[in-house]
């Protein structure tokens, strides 16, 4: 029984990137047919830079989902971080680094709370992170009287908004893309490490993992911390891209979950790869760009995300028994 | 859900202008506009005509103090409300949920401070943008011994009965900013209004955009009277001039969303030749979308929020800022005191609604004030300026 499950898992994992790559290629072909410019290096660079935050969030969400949990608090964490950053920086160019460190510390704290409440108190992560979502939204509202105050300095915004200029062929390489590549490399290393394998085992079968001596609670808590750290980085990029906003992170948690599911990460845990989750995010962004080029309103994006989640979960449950 | 549905419809309507037969070439003055959709249910022709007339009316009242001026005033007798002071004045506020309201409320508190000899107590209750809370707030205030009640309603229809209940208590009620569907308050104070705002901005964008140019209209959300009237006046101006409105999008007043929408349109059409907005809070984000895409910023309107005014000056934009001045938050306090003195007050009390143009831009750009401050606060002579507003 266990061998069968392991084989099944292996089988799926080895082939799990093929579908998402295929979808991405099809979307890119459709996109290029409509707008041949899209694949030109400068335009592609801008696209990748703009997509970096959601790709980061998808990577963070991967760790949580693969361990068998969900993190619904990342969108509100992004909003909170942007609003807090604006108020603390208040246009002061020299405040950027200290405030960024503070944001990371806050991110770690939120991740720890999510993880400990889920693992120690036994609250389902769906509820834990929903609670965190509400706490953060309410706290930010209370702290700021319902409207953002202060402003992000140009220096703080640079990392999300600009890049290395005058690069041959590419023209501009967004800093956001460099951040993304660095995080992707780190995430890949993490998934290949003992921790990564442990996490997958925990998500695949927590009971077995526990019996074989894995500290399930610690692994899951770390996953939540990683997700919160990814949200913090995303907040710095999003705040940089568009400035202070009370809705900076609205809906991002669903974007990240959709991306992960689209990239072959199984809701419920144990299956999928971080590269798949990140490719899922890129695919989702490509799909939205395609919708835009064909004149479909951006208002349909949540609907599309919802449909993807339902379809992906239905497809997975359809496949499992027969596999 | 409705927002989604409406915006889909509007965008689909906007897309029909992709069709080369939509008539954007030829003589634009003769053709009718495209892409602006149906006229809003909130549109009232008489109000529209009246507001456009008021734009050219000379105000009465002290020069240089527009918050004490009135346009075309008809006064009401208030002798029956006369009482000896000092007074307890109560204020039911729709919310403090955007920078415009934050600046306005700060200004109002400073105005109260200038009357500390006559106002012994100023009670403020924030409804946090919720109708139900504001109805309860007003009800609570009725038992608190207020001498006068100031209301800035969250929404028009829902708050009407609460305001009527306050009137029935014999309390002098002053409504400002958004209105209610009753004439029972002693006075209703606001600037000229949404039609004036939308018209001024749309005329500017139309005149500055080359014939056949593509205009993007950005709205916050549907269903709010002030915003609906801004759009409906713009629709009339665009239709009349035969402007090609390629999209009417809702931004939720969010800069990230705005930047993404504008960026999408730049990608879809290659270039956008004019941008109209029903409110300027996200104007800076719209401008940034063009800057970051390496495109020239087309003629655009914002309002008197400083981040936009600074960008306008620094980037030498072709821009205009119709306003809905925050100095109107001073007027209800002044009106309440006048009423309690038994002095006549204008009703409706229509305040001037100045426009910031290239010619007077420098008067309003103040680099020392925060980016979310509103220049038209009329607050520079109030106690603790500028500290209180920072």
CB pairs under 8 A between A and B: 97
Residue B381 lies in a domain: no
> A46 in contact with B at a CB cutoff of 8 Å?
yes
pLDDT (tens digit per residue) in B118-157: 999 999 999 988 999 999 999 999 999 999 999 999 988 8
Segments forming the whole domain that contains residue B271: 194-322
The phi-psi region of residue B37 (left if phi > 0; otherwise alpha if psi is between -120 and 50; otherwise beta) is left
Residue A257 lies in a domain: yes
Question: Residue B380, Cβ neighbours under 10 Å: how many?
Answer: 10
Please name the residues in contact with A290: beta carbons below 8 A apart, sequence gap of 6 or more.
A27, A30, A31, A34
> A165 in contact with B at a CB cutoff of 8 Å?
no
CATH of the domain at A255: 1.10.3470
Residue A155 has pLDDT above 60, yes or no: yes
Q: Are residues B198 and B318 in the same domain?
A: yes
Q: Which position has the higher pLDDT, A302 or A16?
A: A302
Q: Which position has the higher pLDDT, A320 or B74?
A: B74
Tell me which residue in A35, A248, A299 faces B256 most closely, judged by beta carbons: A248
Report chain B's mean pLDDT, rounded to a whole number. Answer: 89
pLDDT (tens digit per residue) in B254-311: 888 899 899 989 988 989 999 999 999 899 999 999 998 889 999 999 999 999 999 9
How far does the CA of residue B143 sit from the closest CA of chain A (Å)? 26
Tell me which residue in A91, A242, A297 faces B285 most closely, judged by beta carbons: A242
Minimum CA–CA partner of A35 in chain B: B268
Residue B54 lies in a domain: no
Residue A144 has pLDDT above 90, yes or no: no
Q: Are residues B159 and B214 in the same domain?
A: no
% of residues, chain A, pLDDT over 70 = 93
Q: How far is CA A160 from the centre of its chain?
A: 16
pLDDT band for position B161 (50/70/90)? very high
Q: What is the 3-state secondary structure (H, E, C) of A273-292?
A: CHHHHHHHHHHHHHHHHHHH
Question: Residue A274, Cβ neighbours under 10 Å: how many?
Answer: 26
Q: Are residues B311 and B348 in the same domain?
A: no
CATH of the domain at B337: 3.40.50.2300
Residue B383 has pLDDT above 70, yes or no: yes
Minimum CA–CA partner of B258 in chain A: A242
Collect all residues of chain A within an 8 Å Cβ-Cβ radius of residue B15: 295
Q: Which residues pair with B151 in a beta bridge?
A: B92, B175
Residue B376 lies in a domain: no
How far does the CA of residue A91 sit from the closest CA of chain B (Å)? 8
Q: Are residues B208 and B318 in the same domain?
A: yes
How far does the CA of residue A3 sit from the closest CA of chain B (Å)? 48
- Give the pLDDT score at B28: 34
CA-angle at A311, arms to A309 and A314, nearest 5°: 105
Buried b (16+ CB within 10 A) or exposed e, B89-117: bbbbbbbbbbbbbbbbbbbbbbbbeebee
Residue A28 lies in a domain: no
Q: From CA B256, how far away is CA A235, in angstroms rounded?
A: 12
Report chain A's mean pLDDT, rounded to a whole number. Answer: 90
Q: Are A27 and A289 in contact (CB under 8 A)?
A: no
Minimum CA–CA partner of B95 in chain A: A146
Q: Are residues B185 and B329 in the same domain?
A: yes
> A298 in contact with B at a CB cutoff of 8 Å?
yes
Mean pLDDT to the nearest integer, A153-158: 93
Q: Do A90 and B370 touch (CB under 8 A)?
A: yes
% of residues, chain B, pLDDT over 90 = 77
Q: Are A172 and A164 in contact (CB under 8 A)?
A: yes
Q: Are B202 and B234 in contact (CB under 8 A)?
A: yes
pLDDT band for position A319 (50/70/90)? low
pTM of the model: 0.83
Q: From CA B214, how far away is CA B274, in angstroms rounded?
A: 6
How far does the CA of residue A16 sit from the closest CA of chain B (Å)? 31
Mean pLDDT to the nearest integer, A36-50: 89
Q: Are residues B118 and B221 in the same domain?
A: no
pLDDT (tens digit per residue) in B181-206: 999 999 999 999 999 999 999 999 99
Collect all residues of chain A within an 8 Å Cβ-Cβ radius of residue B285: 242-243
Q: Are A64 and A227 in contact (CB under 8 A)?
A: yes
* Residue B106 three-state SS: helix
Total number of domains in chain A: 1
Residue B292 lies in a domain: yes
Residue A16 lies in a domain: no
| Optimal mutation site among B285, B292, B366, B388, interface A, most CBs of chain A within 10 A | B292
- Give the pLDDT score at B33: 57
| Optimal mutation site among B100, B217, B258, B267, interface A, most CBs of chain A within 10 A | B267
- Give the pLDDT score at B17: 32
> A40 in contact with B at a CB cutoff of 8 Å?
no
Q: Are A144 and A87 in contact (CB under 8 A)?
A: yes
Q: From CA B100, how far away is CA B202, in angstroms rounded?
A: 22
Mean pLDDT to the nearest integer, A238-258: 91
Residue A12 lies in a domain: no
pLDDT band for position A320 (50/70/90)? low
Mean pLDDT to the nearest integer, A198-226: 93
| Optimal mutation site among B37, B124, B128, B255, interface A, most CBs of chain A within 10 A | B255
Q: Are residues B175 and B212 in the same domain?
A: no
Mean pLDDT to the nearest integer, B73-92: 95
Collect all residues of chain A within an 8 Å Cβ-Cβ radius of residue B129: 146
pLDDT band for position A314 (50/70/90)? confident
Total number of domains in chain B: 2
How far does the CA of residue A127 sit from the closest CA of chain B (Å)? 25
Segments forming the whole domain that contains residue A104: 39-290+297-313
Mean pLDDT lowest among A38-42, A153-157, A282-286, B230-234? A38-42
Mean pLDDT lowest among A142-156, A272-286, B56-70, B304-318? A142-156
> A35 in contact with B at a CB cutoff of 8 Å?
yes
pLDDT band for position A35 (50/70/90)? confident
Q: Do A147 and B102 touch (CB under 8 A)?
A: yes
Q: From CA B373, how far away is CA A107, in angstroms rounded?
A: 30
Mean pLDDT lowest among A9-23, A81-95, A218-232? A9-23
Q: Do A161 and B293 touch (CB under 8 A)?
A: no
> A295 in contact with B at a CB cutoff of 8 Å?
yes
- Give the pLDDT score at A250: 87
Collect all residues of chain B within an 8 Å Cβ-Cβ radius of residue A291: none
Please name the residues in contact with B34: beta carbons below 8 A apart, sequence gap of 6 or more.
B16, B17, B22, B23, B24, B242, B244, B245
What ipTM was assigned to the predicted interfaces of this complex?
Answer: 0.80
Mean pLDDT to the nearest integer, A196-200: 94
C-alpha closest to that of B190 among B339, B326, B374: B326
Collect all residues of chain A within an 8 Å Cβ-Cβ radius of residue B288: 161, 242-243
The pair of structure tokens assigned to A216 is 């399930």
pLDDT (tens digit per residue) in B13-50: 333 333 333 333 333 333 455 788 889 888 999 999 99
Q: Do A149 and B372 touch (CB under 8 A)?
A: yes
- Give the pLDDT score at B24: 33
Tell me which residue in B95, B256, B293 faces A238 most closely, judged by beta carbons: B256
Residue B179 has pLDDT above 70, yes or no: yes
What separation in angstroms does the CA of A316 have from each of A22, A247, A282, A309, B118? 17, 33, 21, 11, 72
pLDDT band for position A108 (50/70/90)? very high
Residue B252 has pLDDT above 90, yes or no: no
Q: Do A151 and B307 touch (CB under 8 A)?
A: yes
**Phi and psi, residue A171, nearest 5°:** 65, -75
Minimum CA–CA partner of B94 in chain A: A146
What separation in angstroms does the CA of A292 have from each of A36, A268, B269, B347? 15, 32, 11, 48
- Give the pLDDT score at A149: 82
> A297 in contact with B at a CB cutoff of 8 Å?
yes
**Which residues in B have their CB inside 8 Å of a CB on A?**
3-4, 7-8, 11-12, 15, 18, 95-99, 101-102, 126, 128-129, 249-250, 252, 254-261, 263-264, 267-268, 284-285, 288, 292-293, 307, 370-372
């Amino acid at each position: 029984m266990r061998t069968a499950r392991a084989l099944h898992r292996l089988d799926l994992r080895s082939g799990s990137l093929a579908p998402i790559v295929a979808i991405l290629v099809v979307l890119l072909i459709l996109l290029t047919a409509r707008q041949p410019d899209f694949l030109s290096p400068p335009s592609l660079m801008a696209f990748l830079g703009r997509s970096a935050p959601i790709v980061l969030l998808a990577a963070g969400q991967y760790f949580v989902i693969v361990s068998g949990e969900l993190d619904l608090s990342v969108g509100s964490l992004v909003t909170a971080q942007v609003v807090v950053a604006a108020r603390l920086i208040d246009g002061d160019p020299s405040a950027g680094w200290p405030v960024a460190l503070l944001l990371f510390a806050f991110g770690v704290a939120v991740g720890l709370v999510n993880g400990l409440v889920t693992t120690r108190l036994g609250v389902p992560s769906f509820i834990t992170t929903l609670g965190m979502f509400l706490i953060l939204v309410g706290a930010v509202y209370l702290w700021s009287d319902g409207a953002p105050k202060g402003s992000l300095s140009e220096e703080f915004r640079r990392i999300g908004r600009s890049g290395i200029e005058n690069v041959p062929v590419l023209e501009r390489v967004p800093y956001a893309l460099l951040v993304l590549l660095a995080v992707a490399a780190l995430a890949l290393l993490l998934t290949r490490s003992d921790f990564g394998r442990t996490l997958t085992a925990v998500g695949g079968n927590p009971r077995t993992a526990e019996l074989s001596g894995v500290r399930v609670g610690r692994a899951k808590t770390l996953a939540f911390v990683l997700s919160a750290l990814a949200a913090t980085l995303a907040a710095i990029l999003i705040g940089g891209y568009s400035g202070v906003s009370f809705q900076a992170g609205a809906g991002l948690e669903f974007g990240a979950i959709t991306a992960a599911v689209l990239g072959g990460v199984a809701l419920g845990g144990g299956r999928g790869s971080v590269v798949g989750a990140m490719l899922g995010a890129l695919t989702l962004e490509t799909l939205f760009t395609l919708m835009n080029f064909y004149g479909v309103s951006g208002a349909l994006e949540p609907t599309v995300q919802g449909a993807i989640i339902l379809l992906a979960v239905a497809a997975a449950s359809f496949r499992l028994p027969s596999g | 859900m409705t927002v989604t549905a409406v915006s889909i419809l509007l965008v689909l309507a906007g897309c029909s202008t992709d069709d080369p037969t939509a008539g954007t070439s030829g003589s634009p003055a003769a053709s009718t506009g495209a892409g602006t959709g149906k006229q809003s249910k909130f549109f009232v022709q008489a109000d529209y005509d009246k507001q456009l007339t008021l734009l050219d009316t000379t105000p009465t009242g002290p020069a240089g103090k527009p918050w004490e001026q009135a346009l075309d005033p008809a006064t009401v007798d208030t002798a029956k409300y006369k009482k000896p002071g000092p007074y307890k004045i109560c204020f039911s506020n729709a919310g403090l949920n955007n920078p415009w309201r934050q600046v306005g409320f700060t200004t109002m508190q400073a105005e109260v401070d200038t009357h500390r000899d006559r106002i012994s107590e100023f009670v403020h209750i924030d409804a946090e943008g919720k109708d139900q809370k504001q109805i309860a707030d007003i009800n609570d205030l009725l038992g608190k011994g207020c001498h006068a009640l100031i209301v800035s309603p969250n929404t028009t229809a829902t708050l009407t009965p609460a305001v009527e209940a306050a009137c029935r208590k014999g309390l002098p009620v002053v409504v400002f900013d958004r209105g209610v569907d009753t004439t029972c308050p002693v006075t209703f104070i606001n600037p000229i209004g949404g039609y004036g705002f939308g018209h001024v901005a749309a005329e500017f964008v139309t005149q500055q955009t080359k014939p056949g140019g593509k205009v993007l209209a950005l709205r916050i959300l549907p269903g709010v009277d002030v915003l609906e009237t801004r759009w409906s006046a713009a629709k009339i101006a665009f239709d009349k001039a035969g402007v090609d409105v390629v999209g009417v999008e809702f931004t939720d007043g969010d800069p990230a969303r705005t930047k993404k929408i504008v960026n999408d349109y730049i990608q879809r059409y290659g270039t956008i030749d004019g941008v109209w907005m029903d409110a300027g809070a996200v104007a800076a984000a719209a401008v940034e979308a063009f800057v970051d895409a390496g495109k020239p910023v087309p003629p655009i309107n914002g309002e008197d929020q400083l981040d936009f005014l600074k960008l306008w000056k620094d980037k030498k934009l072709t821009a205009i800022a119709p306003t809905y001045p925050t100095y109107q938050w001073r007027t209800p306090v002044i009106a309440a005191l006048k009423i309690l003195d038994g002095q006549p007050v204008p009703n409706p009390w229509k305040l001037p609604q100045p426009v910031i143009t290239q010619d007077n831009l420098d008067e309003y750009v103040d680099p020392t004030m925060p980016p979310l401050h509103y220049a038209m606060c009329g607050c520079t002579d109030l106690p603790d300026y500028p500290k209180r507003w920072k």
